Structure 1
Amino acid sequence: MIRLNWTDEQKNRIIELSKQGLSSPKVAQQMFDEYGINFSRRTVARFIATGQTSSRYKGKPKSKVKDVKRGTEIVINKDGSTTSSTTMQMTQEQAKDPEFVLRAHGFNPDDWDIVSARNNFWQQNSVENGLIDLYQSKITVKPKVDDELTPQDIANLFKADIKPYTVKQVARDTHNLVVPLPDLHFGITTMPDVKGHLDRLLELINKGYKTIVIEQLGDLFHSSQMWSSQTLKGTLLDEVNMVQAVEDAKQFFDVLVTASLKNSTTLHIKQMAGNHSGNIEYMFMEYLKAKYPQVVIKNNIQFRDAYLLDNVGIMLAHGDLAPKNLPMLFANEFGGVWSLSHSREIHKGHFHREKIVDEGGVISRQLGTVKPNDKYEISNGWTLSKKELYALEYDSDKLVAEWHI
C-alpha cells in the first residue's frame, strides 16, 4: 500500500468538507475527484476524529468532535399522518415548545398539528461550540383541518356576548349552603337531564343563606377536546357535541349563579380539575369570572384544595388520585384549615356513586352524579347508582342538613 504524505492543503480541504456535513466516505470520494488520489475512508475518518493520518497513532482521541449535520427521515403513513425523524440541537425548553419542534422538522405550525413527539437527549463536545445539547427527535404530525376549532375558537365560545351581571345581595339566614357538583359530564348530560334537579335546587337556594359555595369537583365536560371526544390522557370516548355541551354548561351555571347571588351575602365557586376535561373547565371558570365579578372564584388546577366555611374545614378533590390518603393529606397539606376547623369534611366524586365514610373524625363524602349512563357504563353494568344532586347546609360549626335533590 502506498503511504501518502498529505499536504496542508489536502488536510484543510478535508476539514472544510467535514464541516459541510459530508460523511467520511463522501469526503474520501470528493478528495479523489479533486486530487485524483485514493484517500482511504478509514484514514479520512481517523483524521477527522484525531487530526492524525497514521494508524500507528495511539494517543487519546480529541475530547472535542466535529458537529455533523444529519439528514431527516420522512415517512408518510397510511392514515394521512407524516412521521419525521432527525437529530438537532435545541434546549430542553425548546423541546417542550410544539411550534419550535414543528419548525425544526420543517413543518409550518399553522398547517400541521403534532400527534405524538419523542425527544431523546444527550450532550456532545463540539469544536466550534463546546458542550452542546443534542436531541434525537421523532414526531408524527397531521395536516390541520380547515373547519377544526382552534384554541381561539374555543375561547370565543366562552367569551361570546359576556355582559357582567351584578345584583344586590341580601342574606336571609345565618346558615351556609354548599352545592357540590361532581361529574356533570356535559356532552353526555344535557339541560333536560338536569332541569328537574336544578328546579329543586333553586327552591332550596331561595330560602336565603349567609354564604353559598358552589363546588365544581371535576369532569364538568365529558371530553377534553372540542373536535374529538377523549379524556386528558387521550382515552377515546363516545362521540359528543362539545359545542352544545358548552352551551348547556353556560345555561346551567347562569341560572344557578344568578339565583345564588340573589339569595346570599357572599357567593364562592371552587374549581377542581377532573381527569376528563380539566383544561376546558379552567377556561369555563374564566368565563364565569368575566360574567360575574361579584362571585369569588378560585380557579384551581392543583390535585387538592381546602377552605374554611366559618369553623367547618372542607377539603376538595376530584377523587381519582390518592383516595385512601386524603384525610392525612388534608392534615399535612392544609394545616391552617385543619387546625382552625371544629369539624372536617372531604368532598370528592369520580366514581359516580355515593359513599360516605367517617375516617377518624373526617367525614369523607364520595358523591354521585346525575349524568346518564353512557355505553361504557351500560356494557359493564355500572347502572345501579342513584342520579342525584346534593346540597349541604351548615351552621357555623357543623353540618345541620343534607339535601338530596
Structure 2
Amino acid sequence: MTNELLKIGIQKRNKEISMSWQDIVDLHGNGKFRDGEDLRCWVKNQLRKNGALIRASNTKEKTLNPVEEIDPIKQYGEKMEIHKDGSHSSDKLLQMSAEQSKDVNYLLSAHGYDNSSWELLSARNNFWNVYSKVDGVQTLYSSKISVKPRTDSLSEEDLKLFFEDLSKNYQSPLHSPTNYSVDGKMLELNISDLHLGKLCWNGDSGDTYNYEIARERFFYIINDILTRTQGYKFEKILFIWSNDFFHTDGINGTTTAGTRQDTDVRWQQMYKLGVKMLVEGIDLCSQFAPVETCYIGSNHDKATSYYAVEYLDAWFRNNPNITVNNDAKSRKYVEFGQCLIGLSHGHSEGKRAGKLMPIEAREAWGRTKYHEFHAGHFHSEKAVVEENGIIVRYVSSPTSTDNWHFESGYVGAIQKSMSFVWDRNKGLMDVLNTTVESE
C-alpha cells in the first residue's frame, strides 16, 4: 500500500490528478498520516531518497498504476455507528448530483436506510473532484448522516395489512335503514373522549378502565341511543367519535405532544381494534339512517385518528349510505336545514371557539338560524352562556378517571355520552344522556 500511495503522490506532484493532499489522505492514508501536509512532506522525502522513481514519474513509465484505475468509492473507509439512544451515524463516499445531496430521501436510501422507518437528523457533505481518463472529472461526496428510528404510529404497510385482515374476516350487516325519512330529523350520536387503550387501576385512581371496558361502553352507547330514538324518523345520523378516541399517538405510548400515558394494549393492537370498532359502529347506525362522520384533530391522537378516518374513507368508498369527511382540518362545520353545528376537540381554541364559526363558515352562517359549537376534552358537561346567537357546549366523556386526573383532583365527573336530536327548521329538539357505570 505504501508503494501505491507513493505513486499516487507522484501523480499529484505532476498535476495528473485533481485531488488535494488531504483528499488522498482521507481515501488512501489508512491513518498513517496526520493530514495532507504530512503526506506531501513524506512523498517529497521519498523522492529525494530514490531518484529512479523521479525519473519514472517524469517519463510516465507504465510500471506505475494510473490513479484512475483505483476506485475511490471502494477504497473509502466506510463507517457506521449505533448510539445508546438508538440513533445511527453513517459515513460513506457517494457519487451524486448537487440536487441529490439535498434530497433527504435519496441520502437515507444511499446510506441503506428505509425512509418509512428512519428519520434524518443531520447531514454533512464534503466534496472533491477526481480525474479519470475514462469518465473525466467526477464529483464525489464524503457524506456523513445521523438518523433515528421514526416514531410515527403507523406505516403505509401497517395500514394495508390491517385493511386486508379486516376485509377477509369482517361480516358487514345489511344496509337497510328502518328509521329513514328525507324530511326527518338528524341524530348527532356523539361519543367523545373514549380514550381507547387507557389503563386505570382502582388501586391508585379509584376507577378501573381498559380496552375491553372501552369497547363495551362504545357499543352500549350506540345501542342505547338507537333504541331510545326509534320513535324518530332520521334523515341522517351524524356520528362523532374523533375526540381522543385513541388514548395515545405513536409507538412510544404518548400523546401527540409526547406526554407518557398509562396503556394496556400495544399501539398496533389499539389501532386495529379501534378501526374495527368504528366500522362495526357505523354499520350498525347505517341500518337506521344514512351516516356522516368526520375527522376532528385532538391532543391525544391527532395523527392516529386521521389514519383511522382515512381507513374509514377507503372501507366505505362504495357505500352510498355513508359519507366520510377526511378533510385534515381539525375543526368541522355541519349544516342541516336551519342548523349549523361546529365540531372541535376544544383543547386549543379556548374562548375563541364561538367566534370562529361566522368567520370559518361564513356562507353557512348566513343561511342558518341555530348555531352551536360542540367540543370535548374536559370530560365533563359544560355549556357556555349563549353569546351572539352561538352556544358553545362541552360534552361529557364515558371514560374512567386515571391516575393523573386523580392526582390532579379532576374527579367526580359523571361518565356519560351526550347525543342530540336536531330538527331542520326548529333547531335542537332533544339532548340524550347515556350514563355508563364504573367497574
Normalising by structure 1, report the TM-score. 0.72
Matches within 5 A, 1:129-148: 137-141=145-149
| 8 A Cα contact 1:155 1:283, kept in partner | no
Give the aligned partner of residue 349 of structure 2: 322
| 8 A Cα contact 1:224 1:276, kept in partner | yes
Q: Deviations over 1:207-246 (max 9, x none)?
A: 3311211123332111223x54222333221133145534
Structure 1 position 389, deviation (Å) = 1.0
Aligned-residue Cα RMSD (Å) equals 4.1
Give the aligned partner of residue 258 of structure 1: 283
Which of 399, 406, 416 is matched with 1:378 structurally?
406
Give the aligned partner of residue 118 of structure 1: 121
| 8 A Cα contact 2:297 2:331, kept in partner | no
Give the aligned partner of residue 388 of structure 2: 360
Residues in 2 aligned to 1:324 and 1:31: alpha-carbon distance in whole angstroms: 72
- Structure 2 residue 215 is the aligned partner of structure 1 residue 191: yes
Give the aligned partner of residue 176 of structure 1: 186
Going from structure 1 to structure 2, the CA distance change for 1:92 and 1:16 (only over 3 Å counts) comes to closer
Residues in 2 aligned to 1:121 and 1:233: alpha-carbon distance in whole angstroms: 29
Residues in 1 aligned to 2:380 and 2:82: alpha-carbon distance in whole angstroms: 46
Matches within 5 A, 1:230-249: 230-242=254-266, 243-246=268-271, 248-249=273-274
Which residues of structure 1 form unaligned runs of 5+?
1-6, 39-69, 143-147
Give the aligned partner of residue 50 of structure 2: none
Secondary structure of the equivalent of 2:35? helix
Aligned residues: 354
Going from structure 1 to structure 2, the CA distance change for 1:327 and 1:301 (only over 3 Å counts) comes to same
- Structure 2 residue 238 is the aligned partner of structure 1 residue 213: yes
Going from structure 1 to structure 2, the CA distance change for 1:175 and 1:113 (only over 3 Å counts) comes to closer
Q: Deviations over 1:138-174 (max 9, x none)?
A: 33459xxxxx986523432244235666523352572
Give the aligned partner of residue 369 of structure 1: 397
Structure 1 position 197, deviation (Å) = 2.7
Going from structure 1 to structure 2, the CA distance change for 1:11 and 1:165 (only over 3 Å counts) comes to farther
Q: Deviations over 1:150-207 (max 9, x none)?
A: 6523432244235666523352572211122221111125223344433311213433
- Structure 2 residue 108 is the aligned partner of structure 1 residue 102: yes
| 8 A Cα contact 1:346 1:362, kept in partner | yes
Secondary structure of the equivalent of 1:36? helix
Q: Deviations over 1:345-370 (max 9, x none)?
A: 11111222221112332111112211
Going from structure 1 to structure 2, the CA distance change for 1:121 and 1:22 (only over 3 Å counts) comes to closer
Give the aligned partner of residue 203 of structure 1: 227
Residues in 2 aligned to 1:151 and 1:256: alpha-carbon distance in whole angstroms: 24
Give the aligned partner of residue 54 of structure 1: none
Q: Which amino acid aligns with 1:77?
A: H
Residues in 1 aligned to 2:155 and 2:122: alpha-carbon distance in whole angstroms: 26
Going from structure 1 to structure 2, the CA distance change for 1:270 and 1:78 (only over 3 Å counts) comes to closer
| 8 A Cα contact 1:31 1:37, kept in partner | no
Residues in 2 aligned to 1:364 and 1:134: alpha-carbon distance in whole angstroms: 59
| 8 A Cα contact 1:183 1:350, kept in partner | yes
Which of 304, 307, 324 is matched with 1:280 structurally?
304
- Structure 2 residue 393 is the aligned partner of structure 1 residue 402: no
Structure 1 position 72, deviation (Å) = 8.2
Secondary structure of the equivalent of 2:291? strand
Q: Which amino acid aligns with 2:197?
A: G
Q: Deviations over 1:50-79 (max 9, x none)?
A: xxxxxxxxxxxxxxxxxxxx9988654345
Give the aligned partner of residue 351 of structure 1: 378
Residues in 2 aligned to 1:94 and 1:123: alpha-carbon distance in whole angstroms: 15
Residues in 2 aligned to 1:18 and 1:206: alpha-carbon distance in whole angstroms: 86
| 8 A Cα contact 1:185 1:220, kept in partner | yes
| 8 A Cα contact 2:242 2:305, kept in partner | no
Give the aligned partner of residue 43 of structure 2: 34
Q: Which amino acid aligns with 2:176?
A: K
Which of 160, 181, 194 is matched with 1:155 structurally?
160
Q: Which amino acid aligns with 1:204?
A: R
Q: Which amino acid aligns with 1:198?
A: I
Which of 225, 247, 253 is matched with 1:229 structurally?
253
Identity of aligned pairs, percent?
A: 18
Q: Which amino acid aligns with 1:327?
A: G
Secondary structure of the equivalent of 1:192? helix
- Structure 2 residue 83 is the aligned partner of structure 1 residue 77: yes
Give the aligned partner of residue 67 of structure 2: none
Going from structure 1 to structure 2, the CA distance change for 1:76 and 1:284 (only over 3 Å counts) comes to closer
Going from structure 1 to structure 2, the CA distance change for 1:279 and 1:11 (only over 3 Å counts) comes to same
| 8 A Cα contact 1:289 1:295, kept in partner | no
- Structure 2 residue 343 is the aligned partner of structure 1 residue 337: no
Going from structure 1 to structure 2, the CA distance change for 1:344 and 1:354 (only over 3 Å counts) comes to same
Q: Bigger shift: 119-128 or 281-290?
A: 119-128
Matches within 5 A, 1:12-91: 12=15, 15-17=18-20, 20=23, 22=25, 26-36=35-45, 76-78=82-84, 81-84=86-89
| 8 A Cα contact 1:164 1:291, kept in partner | no
Q: Bigger shift: 275-284 or 335-344?
A: 275-284
Residues in 2 aligned to 1:9 and 1:250: alpha-carbon distance in whole angstroms: 65
Going from structure 1 to structure 2, the CA distance change for 1:123 and 1:344 (only over 3 Å counts) comes to farther
| 8 A Cα contact 2:22 2:36, kept in partner | no
Structure 1 position 121, deviation (Å) = 8.9
